[in-house]
Amino acid sequence: MGAGHGHGHEDGHSHGHGHTHGATADSDKRWLAGALALIVLYMAGEVVVGIVSGSLALLSDAAHMLTDAASIVLALWAIRLAARPAAGRMTFGWKRVEILSAMANGATLLVLAAWLTFEAIRRLFDPPEVTGGLVLTTALIGVVVNLIATLMISRANRSSLNVEGAFQHILNDLYGFIATAIAGAVIMTTGFVQADVIATLIVVALMVQAGVSLVRASSRIFLEAAPENLDPTAIGAAMAGRDHVVEVHDLHIWEITSGSPALSAHVLVEPGHDCHAVREDLAHFLAHDHHIDHATLQVDHAQPGILALGRDKESHCEQAHGPAHSALR
Residue 33 · residue 149 · CB < 8 Å: no
* Fold entry, domain 227-326: Alpha-Beta Plaits (3.30.70)
Residue 325 · residue 247 · CB < 8 Å: yes
Residue 257 · residue 95 · CB < 8 Å: yes
Contacts of 92 (CB under 8 A, 6+ apart): 86, 256
What is the percentage of the chain residues whose pLDDT exceeds 90? 25
Task: List the single range of 124-128, 140-144, 168-172 with lowest mean pLDDT.
Answer: 124-128
- Please name the helix (run of DSSP H) or strand (run of DSSP E) that holds residue 198, with its range, or none: helix 194-222
- Output the CATH code of domain 16-222: 1.20.1510.10
Extents of the domains making up the chain? 16-222, 227-326
| Cα distance between residue 170 and residue 72, in whole Å | 9
Task: List the single range of 70-74, 161-165, 182-186, 324-328 with lowest mean pLDDT.
Answer: 324-328
C-alpha distance across the termini of the chain, in Å: 26
Query: What is the dihedral sign for C-alpha 193, 196, 197, 198?
Result: positive
| Residue 131 in this model has a pLDDT that exceeds 50 | yes
Residue 227 CB-half CA count within 13 A: 17
| Residue 15 in this model has a pLDDT that exceeds 70 | no
3-class DSSP state for residue 259? coil
3-class DSSP state for residue 303? coil
pLDDT of residue 277: 94
Stretch 51-55: mean pLDDT: 75
Burial class (CB in 10 A: 0-12, 13-18, 19+), 135: buried
Residue 170 · residue 149 · CB < 8 Å: yes
Q: Hey, which residues does 245 pair with through a beta bridge? A: 269
pLDDT of residue 164: 85
Residue 264 · residue 297 · CB < 8 Å: yes
pLDDT of residue 57: 63
| Cα distance between residue 172 and residue 287, in whole Å | 36
> What residue type is assigned to position 123 of the chain?
R
pLDDT of residue 266: 94
| Residue 290 in this model has a pLDDT that exceeds 60 | yes
For 195-205, write each residue's pLDDT tens digit. 878 888 888 88
Residue 33 · residue 14 · CB < 8 Å: no
- Split at pLDDT 50, 70, 90, the class of 238 is very high
Residue 265 CB-half CA count within 13 A: 32
| Cα distance between residue 275 and residue 255, in whole Å | 27
pLDDT of residue 318: 57
| Domain 227-326 in the same topology as domain 16-222 | no
Residue 45 · residue 58 · CB < 8 Å: no
Stretch 83-107: mean pLDDT: 85
| Cα distance between residue 69 and residue 75, in whole Å | 10
| Cα distance between residue 174 and residue 171, in whole Å | 5
Residue 144 · residue 241 · CB < 8 Å: no
| Residue 289 in this model has a pLDDT that exceeds 70 | yes
Stretch 169-180: mean pLDDT: 83
Higher pLDDT, 75 or 4: 75
Contacts of 4 (CB under 8 A, 6+ apart): none
DSSP-assigned letters across all residues of 21-74: HHHHHHHHHHHHHHHHHHHHHHHHHHHHHHHHHT-HHHHHHHHHHHHHHHHHHH
